[in-house]
Structure 1
Amino acid sequence: MKKVKSSNQGYPRLGQNREWKRVLESYWKKEISESLFLEKMKELRIGNVRKQTDAGIDLIPVGDFTLYDQMLDMAWMFNLIPERHRTENPASIDCYFSMARGSKSATACAMTKWFDTNYHYLVPEWEGSEPKLNFNKPLDHYLEAKEWADGKPVIIGPYTFIRLSKGYESLEKAAEKLLPLYAQLLQQLEEHGAQIAQVDEPAFVYEETSEDFPIIQSMYSYLDGKVSSLKICIQTYFESPDAYQQLMTLPVSGWGFDFTRGNTIDLMKKHGFPADKFLAAGIIDGRNIWRAKGTESLKLVEFLQKKIKPCELWIQPSCSLIHVPETKEGEVSLPAGVYNSLSFAKEKLAECVLLAGSIDLEAKNRILEWDQAYQELTKYRKSENLSDKVQSFKRKQAFSEREEIQRKAFQLPLLPLTTIGSFPQTKEVRKQRKRFRDGLLSKQEYDAFVKRETKRWIGIQEEAGLDVLVHGEFERNDMVEYFGENLDGFAFTKHGWVQSYGSRGVKPPIIFGDIGWRGSITSELASYSQSLTDKPVKGMLTGPVTILNWSFPRDDQSSEVLASFIAAALRKEVLELEKAGIRMIQIDEPAFREGLPLKKSKQAAYTEWAVNAFRATHWDVQADTQIHTHMCYSEFSEMMDAISDMDADVISIETSRGGGENISTFKEFSYDKMIGLGVYDIHSPRIPAAAEMEKVIEQCLTVLPAGRFWINPDCGLKTRSEEEAIQSLSNMAEAAFNIRDKHTIPTV
């Protein structure tokens, strides 16, 4: 029997202790020089290669490591540098980070979700740029890794790269400009001895692939004619490709598929697989953290070997492992039953190696032992699967009725000013929170500190002129982790960091058992905050869909059922806030769009249960309780009906970073509730002037009625410094005051 190889698609760059983040932010703060920064990044990059060689992986990815984002790397490499970011040396690090984060004179490139994950990529811009190959990053990484491994260079494929870009004239014309650069890149890899190139084409799982296939075919026919010995493996993930039969005719050496999502197995059973191509089988789930099921995995490997019969079989994770933490080592505080069932990146590589050697009896027995771990989880899982019992929820009064009641209750000015929720968590805030967690500060002392910070920021907001205030969320480590810690059924890691965007890392909670509400989480501090001011203070919660999508879910219940349990717990918290006299409650859903299935045929079912889960949190509040929600960094145009159906009184969404693209959505869709379109980008350190924000507000008022328009930043301010946050809010308020003075604003 042919040898089965182990493979990997990408390794977590953040690090178990966020080493990558610390180096990156040290450079941004000018604590280290550029040369030292690049040297330290190289050490981390080589370290990742060596970890994979030590794990026994046969085919190790190189080129997946990045200084910020892989899509940004490709744009930078191909000279797709917007004019506002161009410097005398376009290949400079300063130019690169200007595109990523913005500068004093230029807004950053747009940022949005990578397919249906919580990872954010930078959107390449074609306007005013002439593509050329500035340098060859995959080659550089391949050559530096050769001492430890004959790596597998990883490249984002031309179809996916173009589809996820903006500003190009047409797919065909963009391909004409880029394909010679791809050919040049691949030829250089071939000349320097690379045997295999992994070309990532996750966009092949979209339905439009069939319509675009003639162009795709010409792309890969062209590239096939430019290389001879280099083997191209096209890698798809996150779903199965509908255009499977067509794609199998492409002149490439191999294919990688995600066997944990979609119906790839059914497609292979029906249409077969080319006997002359190798198959990279994504059997190990690269997006969740549970151990693989031993018996099922062995059966799948055997099926692929005996029935599909590729010329060569690779066993690998279903996608890059950047979506899971690096290793579970050191997570000694987890319940034993949970710990034994977990598998992070390092452990998943070990699973791949074992499965690749499963013809060996000892390896097979060790694989079968994986199933025993799941039996330990049953003691935490008592609730039945309610998949056919989830009821529908709806508020008693229509929005038109609630709107009038709320106008009279709050007496807000037109164009109300607010902020999204979180304020900067300074070194002092983190220090005191850590001292409290370590037992060095009593609860009474810590609560007093949080109240002092809250009072200070209430004063800052009032001085800036905001109309609706927030308490600042200083007591919260993360918007999902904080609520998970106060609900039953969640477990937490100490080092389970996952990259969200740039240097931002999160530690997703693990849903392992039955979810339940233990008692009030937020009402005491919300009441205190409201006692400090005559202006409304919003109660701040994270919504059920976001808690689910930003956690690692248990795998024995559907997403719909899990969301319904979370919603039931949050509803009790909403009613506690209302009982405490909080009349504005914001239930954030930044990950609502993230969970939308990639297949259009599956999207209606998702939005139906996701909308219902959100409504389940607030369906029985009083008409004069105003429900807010927030969404960010997603494409909203195709789901505005669902957003309206969520029935929040006020929604805020990101506007500034996408160049106003979300504003244009409202030219086509008449939104019937109150809305705030974020007027400045909080993820950039640049502080926009009041005049700049005035222009955004004016643009918004061309498509939205002023009587229903709120003014706010596009997200929470947690990532900014105090100085940046205060100055930006002051400028935002100045812009709003100027607009109010200049216009006779119609009401609705």
Structure 2
Amino acid sequence: MSSSTFPTATILGYPRIGRNRELKRALESFWAGRTTAPQLLASTDVLRRQTFERLSELGLNSSIGAIPDSSTLYDHVLDATVLLGAIPQRFSGDAVELYFALARGTQDAPPLEMTKWFDTNYHYLVPEIGPDTPIGYADTSVVNRWASASDWGWVTRPVLVGPVTYVALAKAAEGAPEGWSPLSRIDDVVAAYQDLLIHLAGAGVPWVQFDEPALVTDNLATPRSELIAVAEEAWKKLVAAPARPEILVTLPYGDGRAALPAIVRSGVEAVQLDLVRGELPDPGSVDLSSTTLVAGVVDGRNVWRTDLARAERVLRAAQDLAPASLAVATTNSLQHVPHDTALETWEDPELDANLHSWLAFADQKVGEVVTLARGLEQGWDAIAREVAEATLVLDKRKQAAGVVLPEVRDRVGALDDAARTRVPFSEREPLQTAALGLPSLPTTTIGSFPQTASIRKARADLVAGRINHAEYTERIREEVRHVIALQEDLGLDVLVHGEPERNDMVQYFAEQLDGFAATRNGWVQSYGSRCTRPSIQWGDVARSIPLSVEWTTFAQSLTDKPVKGMLTGPVTILAWSFPRIDIPLSESADQIALALREEIAELEEAGTAVIQVDEPALRELLPLDATKHAAYLDWSVSSFRAATSGVRPETQIHTHLCYSEFGQILDAIDALDADVTSIEAARSRMELIPELAVHGFGRAVGPGVWDIHSPRVPSTDELIELISLAENTVPTNRLWINPDCGLKTRDYPETLATLENLVAAATAVRNRIAAASTR
């Protein structure tokens, strides 16, 4: 084991996609066949060097492991799967081919399931572990990356998924015995990590970081207390490795106090706590006399400037608890925030000035860590000026125009139970059935259609002033005409306008709502090469113009079939933006709900008979602490109902949920009181649907039968099989047939091929049901 002092200033990870989305472009070029695997890997090396150089410029020490290497080609959990050789039997190929087959699937092998990383909008690839899954030290990439960084002149800190978190996030592989848990393979994972530690030590690595967020959450299948007990034994074994680097174990995303004593007792050299979402332990509750405490006082989840005065108070208290060694860090990896506020300008001069003073993206957060570390090392008077400046900015923000709108606060205060309640579904259902006249197993899509290069060019041309608004509108109308005609030709039953005018399902609305600001370059990785630009909620939210009525009514004028109005729900708008932190999320959600309620009323008045309000982030925002579940579910459901409960009984309200473990919140999904709920189900092969049946879910369901996050085209027979699985538990008069999610990221050839198969599958099952009923 090496012996080195932990750096006083560090971060847990850095944005991985690149300042100018270099990784996205490199990946998509490789997938398109324009570049080779060696060229892809070379381009990622360039990106890594740029990252290390930037972090050095920002003040992180380049020679003692202060700079984390958190890079990945696609996903850090997938990297752990490859490192451990835990590859399901259906996959094969050379290193790069195999890696992307796991991530994206092949025509013959569906990819690994994808779901949300704790309570973030990042999607990880779920390991599949069974009793016979091979597990061992199978990939040297971590060691090779460290060696290459060393050759370039940087002593970095490798970042890995912790062993307990890895098995806790895994699902039982197909064919595993009923009730079998991947946690039973923890010893094999630990043994593989022991081998890795030996190889890292041999390469000269001084520090290695293992992230163990599974130890701060109650939202996994295994109780937190059990995971903590397993972790203590696992880490004692890893600490006992005959040769190893020094180890930092992180406890990000939540309150790590419950896990802290066990991790300290294991003997690791350093442990990190999230001290924004969690707190310091009580004095005397844990012995930190020989452990470095890494204090996560700079929020890695949001973009607001750090209250340095508060951070200083926390660090002063931490000094008393950790007399041996204290370091300053972020609460978690900065992968969840954009790179740099210097890349942004906002059109309104006052808002531009305000946001630049209020915000801190990744680079600014590194600067805040460095500043606080200087106070720790040199005495707090050394940073008194910076602390005072931050306090002044925060005080001025409270008085800025638009931050508080009294009329909005009054309307939210006037919301009562009646405003959040519809007539019972038993009364609504026959009215909707008569009004819509749909066949059994009605087919639809979730909302978006492929965003073509010509559509993206039209949007760019409008922003650049190369075309005027009238020309842009006509280009979008032409795409809507195309999408409506395409759906009619395919034989879909409930149509959508395809959303060609929308850059993103949240940003589009945020750009039109008062109280939000959209970034130009604030890209954040969602999964793989997929990036989003979360909007920033800086003030009270109000609707001053229609949001979607024009496009929905135009699309409806082109067809006699019903066209869904498409809106994003209040919880998802908050979850996929950077929300303000000076008022409760529940209050912001109700402000957004009232804006959506106005929009829904206009859609209904314009003749829209089906309105979908998507809430894919409902499970995502579930607090990691079980004691906070009830309060969150109460306000999140209430905000959805405030948005949707003003419609007539015959208006059909849909909602959509995807890529999270929804089994925990079935009561809340039920309480949304949507007439139709579409939900991701293809990758998990209808795993959730029996749970809905056991729950007694009594309204219509559209379980996804097409995994749109993979480029493969499922056959008609495969889709029939999935529909039949759903049919076993959902009454056919309440079963809808649809993809898992919107089609924005797919291309038209695979979209047309799969939708043809989807309609054919629904027709075949309808015919089978009709034939059976006549016997």
User: Are 1:281 and 2:295 counterparts?
Assistant: yes
In the alignment of these two chains, the number of paired residues is: 740
SS in 1 for 2:133: coil
Contact 1:4 1:357 (C-alpha < 8 Å) held by counterparts: no
Contact 1:75 1:81 (C-alpha < 8 Å) held by counterparts: yes
From 34, 43, 55, the equivalent of 1:52 is 55
Contact 2:197 2:244 (C-alpha < 8 Å) held by counterparts: no
Corresponding residue of 2:145? 141
Contact 2:114 2:125 (C-alpha < 8 Å) held by counterparts: yes
Shift of residue 606, structure 1, vs aligned partner: 0.5
Contact 2:291 2:322 (C-alpha < 8 Å) held by counterparts: no
Corresponding residue of 1:42? 45
What is the correspondence of 1:147-158 to structure 2 with a 5 Å cutoff? 147-158=152-163
User: Are 1:673 and 2:699 counterparts?
Assistant: yes
Normalising by structure 1, what TM-score? 0.96
Alpha-carbon separation, structure 1, partners of 2:499 and 2:120: 25
Distance 1:229 1:719, change over 3 A: closer
C-alpha offsets along residues 329-357 of structure 1, whole Å, 9 cap, x if unaligned? 12122521111111000110011111100
From 26, 31, 37, the equivalent of 1:28 is 31
Contact 2:444 2:494 (C-alpha < 8 Å) held by counterparts: yes
Alpha-carbon separation, structure 2, partners of 1:746 and 1:705: 14
Shift of residue 62, structure 1, vs aligned partner: 4.0
Distance 1:260 1:388, change over 3 A: farther
Distance 1:9 1:390, change over 3 A: farther
Task: Give unpaired runs (5+ residues) of structure 2.
Answer: 174-179
Distance 1:585 1:170, change over 3 A: closer
Alpha-carbon separation, structure 2, partners of 1:370 and 1:212: 39
What is the correspondence of 1:295-694 to structure 2 with a 5 Å cutoff? 295-305=309-319, 307-333=320-346, 335-358=352-375, 359=378, 361-377=381-397, 378-379=399-400, 380-383=402-405, 391-392=416-417, 393-694=419-720
Contact 2:235 2:268 (C-alpha < 8 Å) held by counterparts: yes
Normalising by structure 2, what TM-score? 0.93
SS in 1 for 2:172: coil
Task: Give unpaired runs (5+ residues) of structure 1.
Answer: none
From 144, 168, 171, the equivalent of 1:163 is 168
Corresponding residue of 2:177? none
Contact 2:9 2:373 (C-alpha < 8 Å) held by counterparts: yes
Shift of residue 206, structure 1, vs aligned partner: 2.6
C-alpha offsets along residues 623-667 of structure 1, whole Å, 9 cap, x if unaligned? 011000111001111111110100110110000012332233234
SS in 1 for 2:241: coil
Structure 1 window deviating more from structure 2 (126-135 vs 491-500): it is 126-135
Paired AA for residue 148 in structure 2: E
Contact 1:49 1:148 (C-alpha < 8 Å) held by counterparts: no
Distance 1:44 1:696, change over 3 A: same
Structure 1 window deviating more from structure 2 (67-76 vs 515-524): it is 515-524
Distance 1:340 1:172, change over 3 A: closer
Corresponding residue of 1:179? 190
C-alpha offsets along residues 73-131 of structure 1, whole Å, 9 cap, x if unaligned? 110111111111123x4xx1011101101111111100000000000000011245311
Distance 1:229 1:176, change over 3 A: closer
Alpha-carbon separation, structure 2, partners of 1:729 and 1:565: 37
Identity of aligned residues (%): 39
From 71, 76, 79, the equivalent of 2:77 is 71
Structure 1 window deviating more from structure 2 (283-292 vs 209-218): it is 209-218
Distance 1:63 1:86, change over 3 A: farther
Contact 1:279 1:310 (C-alpha < 8 Å) held by counterparts: no
User: Are 1:191 and 2:213 counterparts?
Assistant: no
SS in 2 for 1:340: helix
Alpha-carbon separation, structure 1, partners of 2:443 and 2:6: 64
Alpha-carbon separation, structure 2, partners of 1:738 and 1:501: 35
From 103, 126, 146, the equivalent of 1:123 is 126
Distance 1:227 1:9, change over 3 A: farther
Corresponding residue of 1:220? 235
Alpha-carbon separation, structure 2, partners of 1:462 and 1:268: 65
From 691, 699, 704, the equivalent of 2:725 is 699
Alpha-carbon separation, structure 1, partners of 2:284 and 2:680: 44
Contact 1:355 1:367 (C-alpha < 8 Å) held by counterparts: no
Structure 1 window deviating more from structure 2 (541-550 vs 443-452): it is 443-452
Paired AA for residue 363 in structure 1: I
| RMSD across aligned positions (CA) | 1.9
Alpha-carbon separation, structure 1, partners of 2:499 and 2:371: 45
From 96, 101, 104, the equivalent of 1:98 is 101
Alpha-carbon separation, structure 2, partners of 1:308 and 1:157: 25
Structure 1 window deviating more from structure 2 (56-65 vs 408-417): it is 56-65
Shift of residue 273, structure 1, vs aligned partner: 4.2
Alpha-carbon separation, structure 2, partners of 1:212 and 1:478: 38
Distance 1:229 1:15, change over 3 A: closer
SS in 2 for 1:268: coil
Alpha-carbon separation, structure 1, partners of 2:7 and 2:389: 21
Alpha-carbon separation, structure 1, partners of 2:323 and 2:160: 23
Alpha-carbon separation, structure 2, partners of 1:218 and 1:3: 24
Paired AA for residue 188 in structure 1: H
Shift of residue 439, structure 1, vs aligned partner: 2.0
